Amino acid sequence: MKLRMDRTLRFWVDVAYDDIRSEHPNRTKRQLIARILREFEGCGDAMRCLNANGTITWKASPQCLERLADAERDAEDELKDCF
């Protein structure tokens, strides 16, 4: 079954996958993504929910989205300071 996830989470899962794939050449992409999701869920950055079709999907948690928004604001502030 395909691991469905929202766009934000997909982006960060792909980043994590690119980081670890070379360390685990014998694992399939699906196994590594499952492991990443398990870790993200355990630290509160990812969560499961039902989508509009009643299927279980993954999404970035409110905590994760808040942290990303903070980081984006900080980056914008730093950029303003540069000019």
Q: Which is nearer to another protein, 55 or 76 (CB)?
A: 55
Question: Tokens for 19?
Answer: 């980081």
Which residue ranges make up the site for another protein (CB under 8 A)?
1, 3, 34, 37-38, 41-44, 47-56, 61-63
How far is residue 36's CA from residue 13's CA, in Å, rounded to a whole number? 7
CB atoms within 10 A of CB 33: 19
Q: How far is the CB of 28 from another protein (least distance, A)?
A: 11
HSE, CB side, 13 Å, CA atoms: give it for residue 20: 18
Closer to another protein by CB, 20 or 55: give it. 55
Indicate the residue among 39 and 76 with the shorter CB distance to another protein: 39
